[in-house]
Amino acid sequence: MSRWTNILNAITGKSEKRDIDSYMRYMYNLTGGGANVNQATVQGISAWSRGRSILSNTLAGLPKNLYQKTSVGPKIVDKHQSLDLIKLMANSNLNAYQWHDYMMGTAIDYGNAYSLIHRDENARPMYLSIIHPDKVTVEVWDNAVMYKIKLKNDSNETVTVDYSDMYHIMGSTNNGYVGTSTLKANATSLGLSLSMNNFAKDLYDSNTNLEGYIKNPGRLDAEVIKKVRESWQSNYGGTGTSSTAFLDQGMEYVPLSMTPENAQLIQLMRYTNKNIATILGIPAHMINEMDEAKYNNVELTGIEFVKYSLLHWVNKFEIQNNKLLRESEQGVYKWKYNVNGLMRGDSKSRAEFYNTMINIAALTPNQVRQLEDLNPYEGGDEYYIQGNNMIPVNKLDEHYNKGGTNE
């Protein structure tokens, strides 16, 4: 029996149930831009598809570790029931990388991503099964959050799931319980991109990009116009035709060109690409919009991408991973998705930096090992300062009282 059942039975007579489903329907029915904006259509926008995959693939590929608090600092855990789900296989058909990729991408598109946590008789997680957001309704009873899952599309049969048994990643939210769909919230901007793509396709498919026209001083009937057009197309319209045109009866060829630049397609494409980068929160150069990218600012924008775009998604996954821990483990274990590798330089630069920080007693060896995802060692929490030998800071007096020197 659900551990929320008694609570719900007790408060039913005096509490007002808040149905979040109407809010979700409102967000999902937003339209804009004169185009049908949905998960399928936006995949045709190269900038959106690329930017979305950068976010989801980057998060999926991060090193993921579970730490246990010890007397010498956090220690990486090698064995735990939840480790296999997050690092190896979410279930028998979906590996951990694919699961993270799906959850992240779905949260971006729909605003919410759900996975049901299946547990054994000891409440330990066994596997995670993904659930499409359209099948989930969020209900709130005072502080109790419940999830209703629609079992079949053609029926109203549902099952209710505890908050603790639903892995829920949400995007930006206006109420704290469900996220808003990025696609629907930005339907106008994305609709502009779709409309632009359709316009460009129609422009070239319909041969609207005219190269010129034939001007005649007099009036021609329809039959003559037809013959002139066919003759021109036959002689000068394609490969293998003549290269020198001949016109008689005062006819004149007038060149006419509507280039993509004249149609402002290039400028519009750049505008929509930058707009998509803004929506996703990624630097424009990551979707090949390089006009403002410079060598000295690409590294900085890469760090900003981690700090201001990726990190808040990382925090959401780390928090939800706590649901894979039993209550007795909540204060003992902590999940960490390591982004240090995205923000640090090469191994030589890191070694020089760590060496300097240890020599000036700014970092301990164990702190350096933690940054490199290595387990601490006994005695590694001492601060050292450079002398003839490395001396612990708290033993400097003892060293000098014994006649030690520091050149």
Average pLDDT over residues 200-222: 66
What pLDDT score does 327 carry?
86
Taking only Cα atoms into account, the Rg of the chain, rounded to an integer number of angstroms, comes to 32
Per-residue tokens: 115: 């996975």
What pLDDT score does 310 carry?
94
Listed in sequence order, the DSSP H helices in 79-186 are 83-87, 96-110, 182-185
- Residues 26, 39: Cα–Cα separation, whole Å: 17
- Residues 225, 215: Cα–Cα separation, whole Å: 11
What pTM was estimated for this model as a whole?
0.69
What pLDDT score does 293 carry?
56
Average pLDDT over residues 2-28: 43
The residue that leads in pLDDT, 216 or 68, is 68
Average pLDDT over residues 233-248: 62
Q: Fill in the amino acid letter for 33.
A: G
What pLDDT score does 206 carry?
61
- Residues 250, 337: Cα–Cα separation, whole Å: 77
Q: Fill in the amino acid letter for 356.
A: T
* Mean pLDDT across the chain: 79
- Residues 217, 226: Cα–Cα separation, whole Å: 17
Residue 36's CB: how many other CB atoms inside 10 A? Answer: 12
With a pLDDT cut of 90, the percent of the chain lying above it is 30
What pLDDT score does 384 carry?
85
Average pLDDT over residues 30-36: 49
269-278: burial string, b at 16+ Cβ within 10 Å, e else: bebbbbbbbe
How would residue 16 be classed by pLDDT, with cut points 50, 70 and 90?
very low
Average pLDDT over residues 210-237: 71
Average pLDDT over residues 57-78: 90
